[in-house]
Amino acid sequence: MTADPFLQPEDASAAEAIAAIGEELEVFDDWMERYQYIIELGRKLPPFPDVWADDAHRVPGCQSRVWMEAVARDGRLYFAAASDAAIVSGLAALLLRVYSGRTPAEIGATDPVFLKELGLLEALSTNRGNGIASMARIIRERAAGA
């Protein structure tokens, strides 16, 4: 049996996930350490099936290649993601930590403004910032359509 590619939530709610990410990032003194931490998060994502690394799963608006998939289970949405760029995989892991395994209502109620509040968008290039915004938009669109 292959491993489940969809990220299981480790925090009880999206708000708790955002708070935990904020606390984890505060441990680091500079952005290079934070980037390394984010890259490590990306490496811990569940394996993304190769068959999903196609145009149908590709996230538009990203500088690097990013793919996402979602599945509904028991009234919750679970997400899988992968990227060909290490930092982008890490950013996807942060988004999935907040949104995967939540109800569509909770996803819709959780504004991705936390990315800005945590200082993540300012630390990224404009293209990376646009890419993470595209990932967040797709997650919220899937929730709105669920």
Catalytic pick among 62, 92, 95, 107: 62
Q: What is the 3-state secondary structure (H, E, C) of 107-118?
A: HHHCCCCHHHHC
Q: What does R_g of the chain's alpha carbons equal in angstroms?
A: 14
Q: At what angle do helices 31-43 and 14-26 cross, to 10 degrees?
A: 130
CB 10, CB 99: distance < 8 Å: no
106 is catalytic: no
DSSP state of 12: S
**53: helix, coil or strand?**
coil
Assign residue 74 a region (left: φ > 0; alpha: ψ between -120 and 50; beta: otherwise). Answer: left
- Residues tagged active-site: 62
